[in-house]
Amino acid sequence: MSNHSRKDIEDRFTEACELHSRAEFIAAEKIYIRLLEQVPATGMLHYNIGLLYYQTEDFKKALVHYATARDLAPQDSDLLFNYALCQKKLGQLRDAALSFRELIQISPNDPDTLYNLGNCYKELKEHKKAVKSYRLVLDLEPNHLPAIKNLAYLFHILDDRENALDYYNRVLHFDPDNSQAIHMISALTGAHINSTPSEYIKDIFNSYSENFDEALLDGLKYAVPEKLRSLFDALDYPVKSFSRCIDLGCGTGLAGNEFGELCKHITGIDLSEKMIEKAVEKGIYDVIQVAEITKFLKGKRDEYDLAVAADVLTYLGDLDPVFAALTGATKKQALFCCSTENSDQPHFHLCTTGRFAHSQDYVLKTAARYGWKAVNMTTTTLRKEESDWVEGTLYFLNKI
């Protein structure tokens, strides 16, 4: 290569880097790719192209270029870190964990690497290995809040109440309003609370919304909406279609999807705006709104002839206010289809999972106080919790 063409290549590379740093990705990519034809075996070029594709979320292409750059510079820790992150983004969790471990051999005391290794193990459900990685992070950076939060969560999952409480309290030390820590401390200490704080619901479901359908349907084998619909179809119920339905705590629309075709008009409400965004994308509801169930229902009169609450009463605890509001908002003869987790205690209780469980007796008596009578109730499994099935009841209640 002549000096002139080398200079020309360097200038073009500098120009591409400048465009790249200004997030002018398309223009930068064009120059990088042309340069690649002239100087294919250049690690820095492949690294930058990998970075550009990573930033534009084309993780497959990013990985190809990071891999080539890696072959050219196997000991480059920045490169290996990005390569591992990219593997993780692509769901290649085992490969990512391997890459992060390789990186630990090169730079043993890097909290970011240990934290990301912990994240891989956490997603792989290798809880004990995740705990070990996060603890190493805290040895290096004792105030690393994300690691502290994840340790609280993991000890909770591992049924290690003492450590879970310790880490939830540490979370509160740094973030006194952290709704998850506050709620989980209540759950683990058997506090008597009547409902789940709205802030906690919003935080949790806003963060679940992206992968909610896959996580619930595939991961947790959640089938409440489907089961409610097939039970309804099998039910000897005189009404088979409805004029106005309300899906309470509609989430991403799984229950609306099952019941929508039976209804001329269907409304979905939920506290989590991110869950609502997902439901909007599916186009199931005629009206959809971010709202709290009891507050929303209080503002309605004789409006609905069908109400659905799939896996939602588990977040409400005391059902009295819900039935009071629902009774005012529904027409005579309305049908209410809902699910609860079963409690072996007389009324309802907050489980260590942070969700409420209700006894069948409590649900039926509370419903009856407001004039609702069971046309059917079926005990079944609702979803998985780690390796166990969560038992619950599906109710069809008629307003008489």
Ligand X SMILES: C[S@@+](CC[C@H](N)C(=O)[O-])C[C@H]1O[C@@H](n2cnc3c(N)ncnc32)[C@H](O)[C@@H]1O
Single residue of 28, 51, 86, 271 touching ligand X by CB under 6 A:
271
Rounded to whole angstroms, the Cα distance separating 28 from 316 reads 52
Select from 114, 181, 310, 397 the one that contacts ligand X (CB under 6 A): 310
284 touching ligand X, by CB under 6 A: no
- Interface with ligand X by CB under 6 A: which range of 23-31, 269-277, 344-352, 369-377? 269-277
Relative to beta strand 242-248, strand 287-290 is: unpaired
- The answer to whether 50 touches 73, Cβ cutoff 8 Å, is no
Only one of the segments 48-56, 60-68, 124-132, 304-312 lies at the binding site for ligand X (rule: CB under 6 A); that segment is: 304-312
Q: Which is nearer to ligand X, 118 or 225 (CB)?
A: 225
Shortest approach of ligand X to residue 311 CB, angstroms?
Answer: 4
Nearest residue (CB) to ligand X, 88 versus 229: 229
| Extended strands (E) in 271-387 | 287-290, 304-309, 330-341, 348-350, 356-358, 372-385
> Per CB under 6 A, which region of 164-172, 308-316, 329-337, 390-398 contacts ligand X?
308-316
Q: CA-CA distances (angstroms) from residue 183 to 102, 146, 197, 338, 359?
A: 38, 18, 8, 24, 22
DSSP string, 132-157: HHHHHHHHH-TT-HHHHHHHHHHHHH
Q: What six digits make up the tokens of 208?
A: 């679940």
User: What is the bridge-based pairing of β-strands 330-341 and 388-399?
Assistant: antiparallel
Select 102 or 292, whichever has its Cβ closest to ligand X.
292
Distance from the first to the final alpha carbon of the chain: 89
Structure tokens at 351: 């489980």
162-201 residues near ligand X, rule: CB under 6 A: 201
Minimum CB–partner distance for residue 229 and ligand X (Å): 11
**Distances in whole angstroms, Cα of residue 380 to Cα of each of 96, 228, 241:** 38, 11, 25
Nearer to ligand X, 144 or 227 (CB): 227
Which lies closer to ligand X via its Cβ, residue 138 or residue 248?
248
Q: What are phi and psi of 48, to 5 degrees?
A: -65, -40
Give me the count of residues in the chain.
400
Q: Could you say whether residue 315 binds ligand X (CB under 6 A)?
A: yes
> Given the rule CB under 6 A, which of 86-94, 120-128, 147-155, 271-279 is the region that contacts ligand X?
271-279
- Which residues between 200 and 229 bind ligand X (CB under 6 A)? 201, 205, 224-225
- Residues binding ligand X: number (CB under 6 A): 20
Name the token pair of 395: 């109710």
- Which of 312, 319, 326, 367 is in the footprint of ligand X by CB under 6 A? 312
Is residue 79 near ligand X by the rule CB under 6 A? no
Among 284, 293, 297, 319, binds ligand X (CB under 6 A): 293
Q: Which of 263, 275, 284, 329 binds ligand X (CB under 6 A)?
A: 275
Q: How far is the CB of 196 from ligand X (least distance, A)?
A: 6
Measuring CA to CA, how many Å separate 99 from each of 42, 46, 114, 117? Answer: 22, 18, 11, 9
Give the interface with ligand X as residue ranges (CB under 6 A). Answer: 201, 205, 224-225, 249-251, 254-255, 270-272, 275, 292-293, 310-312, 315-316
